[in-house]
Structure 1
Amino acid sequence: MSKDLPQPQQSEEVDLGQLFKLIGNAFSNLFHSIGRLFNKLFLAFVWLVFFVKTHVLKLIIAGIVGVVLGIVLEKTSEAVYKSSITLKQNYDTGENLYNEINYYKNLIKQEDISTLENILGIKSDEAESILDFEIEPVISENEKLQEFDAYLKEIDTSLLETIEYKTFLNNSKDHDHQYQKITIKAEERKNFKKVFHKIITNINSNVYFKREQEKDLIELRERASAITKSLIKADTLLAVYQKAIVKSAENNNDFQGKINITTDKGRESSTKEFELYNKGLELRASLIEIEREIADKEYIIEITSSKQDSGTIDDKKELFDVMISPKRYYAIILIGLTFITLLSLRFVKFLERYKDKI
């Protein structure tokens, strides 16, 4: 039996050798495939360069025609004016606001000028001149990160690892952001202010938001009233306390006492003389914050900036989310169409070689 012991070791060495050989072949095939892919890509690039070189004159002519076409259309087309305002939402009016703007857009598409005229409170010719409404959030990437950070602080800690920034952005809605930009495009520049004013009025007159505003203002004013009373009481008690200290000092007595004052939340707080002044400062700071909240809640939605008086000429074209001049726009479009057409003809010519083999 001792003669048979080395045989398993020899078999294992053979198996390991075959395994390493297979791994080596796999890596070799992988590198060869990658090399062939880069070679094909390089050949395709070279072919494309010579293809463009062959038809460069046609592409240049297409670009020149596009520039001329852009100039002609720019000179002959009627001027389009646009104006925009930035709004601050003090309540969750975003969905309502977006629905309203989309409704106006649909009325324009349906050419329902009479309904648009009645809703916006403008004349018929002014309604006919309106070409489009647009709305978009005004928010920077840094502000999005701040919102994401605030959101993470609000949710359960067990869910933190499952929430990603991209997921947060995909689930967030445009109308949720506090600042929104509304743009109007029209053939006339005299009715922008009137239309913007009507949009704001329609939101501010919403019954639901007016009720919410009324409830918030009542609560804030009651809190402000409670703090004001506490301040008056604190000032009075501080004066009494100081007189008591003066009299105690005159009588050579060691005066120590506590004074109870009521906070805006209805709680009583015991304090000594040296704390009473600081408590007054805290109450005044709270009162200032509440007054600021009252000022913010005065309007359901308000304008923060505007270019609504006469508007500006809108002579730009959008291409791949970039606004460019009509000359560049039509030049790029015609060059692209010419290139695709020439490429298609070359492809058809290539396929004709195999026509007889079918």
Structure 2
Amino acid sequence: MSKNLPEPNNSEEVDLGQLFKLIGNAFERFFKFFGRIFYSLFLAFVWLVFFFKKHVIIIVVAAVLGLVVGFVKEKFSNPIYQSSVIVKQNYNTGKNLYNLISYYNELIDARDKSTVAEALGVTMDVANELVSIEIEPIITENQMVKNYDYYKRGLDSVLGSIFSYESYVENTDPTEFVEQQIKIKAKHNFNTTLIFNNIVNNINQTEYFKRENEKDLLELNNRELALKQALIKSDSLQKMYKRVLEMSKEDTKGSQTSITIEGSDQIDKTKEFELYKSEIEIRRELVEIERNKQDRSQILEIITSSQERGVVSKDIEIFGITVGLTQFFMLLFVSITILVLMGLQFLKYLERFKEEI
């Protein structure tokens, strides 16, 4: 009878054993891969330490030489004077404004003094002293975060979850910000108010924006007229309503028999309050319209007092960081020295393979 018993099946045990073996091999390859990465990074760090230790004297000499050159250039070179204003865009003039500034800079770089003088409305001598005209948006990190939060609310949940703040900042158009700062750099110190005003007037005289401004003001004026007429009718209605109430009270007092409807006084007060509230809303909207009319009175306007005289500016911007002229030359000399030393070290390393070629 024992011969008829089924033989034990070990296929499941074999499959599980192979599965665990595959998982173990995968983890082993995974840790070895990251181990090689960290080992390579450690070797690179050690190489850099010994590289700087070997050439520390040369690097220090280069830094000192850069400081000396930067100090001498800062003290004895001709200063660059900078003046700036902040402008507010009441219309979407950003791209036109940036293109206009770029056009002016192209003329300045080409040393086309006559065209620069004609475009900016200045003399030839002033046009010859201009170095550059720059523009950049005025916005803080806190404002950018608020803009991102407001923009994200308008997206669906799926797209909002994958659209990061970094992506928003990267894809934001700097021309769209309402406030922009315009800077003028020149070789000599002179009154730049005329140049700023001419830049703003150039945008304000654009036919497209002038038509948009006229249409907006016409719409606001029509709304204001309609609300004022509604306000007059509301005043007349309130006066008439009060007269009706007074007449009804007089009739009630003069009659021998009167019927009082419970809650009628409360209903009269409610209707009177609704009329009063409606009048307040109309007056509030009239105030908003007047404010909009004032905001729309100019297409592009200067919101800060123009600096009649510029200030000396010798700072240089590197990757969004502003450094002084002395620090700039120190970093420049040190960077060039390190690159040259690394290049020589690389060539020395290639010499090992010269005999094999």
> Structure 1 residues 289-298 or 311-320, which shifts more?
311-320
User: Is residue 84–residue 306 contact of structure 1 (8 Å, CA) maintained in 2?
Assistant: no
C-alpha deviations, 1:159-209, integer Å up to 9, x for none? Answer: 766765555444442212222121111112213111000001111111111
The structural deviation recorded for 1:44 is: 2.7
Where does residue 229 of structure 1 map in the other structure? 229
What's the counterpart of residue 336 of structure 1? 335
Q: Tell me, what secondary structure is at the counterpart of 1:55?
A: helix
Contact 1:204 1:300 in 2 (8 A): yes
Question: Greater shift after overlay, 238-247 or 296-305?
Answer: 238-247
Equivalent position SS for 1:285: helix
> Hey, what's the Cα distance between the residues in 2 that align with 1:2 and 1:119?
108
- SS of 2:88's equivalent? strand
Deviation at 1:102, TM superposition (A): 0.9
Aligned equivalents of 1:75, 1:153: Cα separation in 2: 53
Deviation sequence 1:326-354 (CA, Å, 0-9, x none): 11111111112112212222222222233
One-letter amino acid matched to 1:84 = S
Q: Is the 8 A contact 1:133 1:182 kept in 2?
A: yes
- Distance in 1 of aligned mates of 2:320 and 2:356: 46
- 8 Å CA contact 1:67, 1:327 repeated in 2: yes
Task: Spell out, residue by residue over 1:84-127, the C-alpha distance to the aligned partner (whole angstroms, 9 max, x if none).
Answer: 11111111111111111111111112221111111111000101
* Cα distance in 1, alignment partners of residues 6 and 199 from structure 2: 96
The one-letter code sitting in structure 2 at the alignment partner of 1:39 is Y
Aligned in 2, Cα 1:2/1:294: closer, same or farther, shift over 3 Å?
farther
Task: Name the stretch that deviates more: 134-143 or 335-344.
Answer: 134-143
Q: Percent identity at matched positions?
A: 43
Q: Return the letter of the residue paired with 1:340.
A: L
Which of 312-321 and 302-311 deviates more?
302-311
User: Post-superposition shift, 1:149?
Assistant: 4.5
- Residue 244 of structure 1: CA displacement? 3.6
Q: Distance in 2 between matches of 1:341 and 1:84?
A: 40
Counterpart of 1:46, as a letter, is V
Q: 1:64 to 1:163 in 2, by over 3 A?
A: closer
Change (3 A) 1:344 1:127: same
Q: CA deviation at 1:135?
A: 1.4
The structural deviation recorded for 1:136 is 1.6
- Unaligned runs of at least 5 residues, structure 1: 260-270
Q: 1:161 to 1:317 in 2, by over 3 A?
A: closer
**1:314 lines up with 2:325 in the alignment:** no
Return the TM-score normalized by structure 1: 0.86
Q: Summarize deviations over 1:292-350 as a string: whole Å, max 9, x none.
A: 11111100111122452112211111222211111111111111211221222222222
Q: What displacement does 1:156 show?
A: 7.6
Residue in structure 1 matched with residue 185 of structure 2 by the alignment: 185
CA distance in 1, matches of 2:16, 2:39: 34
Deviations 1:67-94 (A, max 9, x none): 1100111112111011111111111111
Q: What is the CA–CA distance in structure 1 between the aligned matches of 2:44 and 2:56, rounded to whole Å?
A: 18
- Specify the alignment match of 1:242 in structure 2: 242
Per the alignment, in what secondary structure is the counterpart of residue 214 of structure 1?
A: helix
Alignment-mate amino acid for residue 337 of structure 2: T
Provide structure 2 residue ranges, at least 5 long, that are not aligned to the other structure. Answer: 254-259
Partner of 1:276: 275
SS in 1 for 2:32: helix
Cα distance change, pair 70–242 in 1 and its aligned pair in 2 (3 A): same
Cα distance in 1 for partners of 2:70, 2:158 equals 58
Relative distance call for 1:15 and 1:273 in structure 2 (3 A) is closer
Rate the CA distance shift 1:168–1:52 in 2: closer, same or farther, 3 A.
closer
In the TM superposition, 1:1-358 aligns within 5 A as 5-6=7-8, 9-151=9-151, 165-252=165-252, 272-358=271-357
Pair 1:165–1:10, CA change in 2 (3 A): same
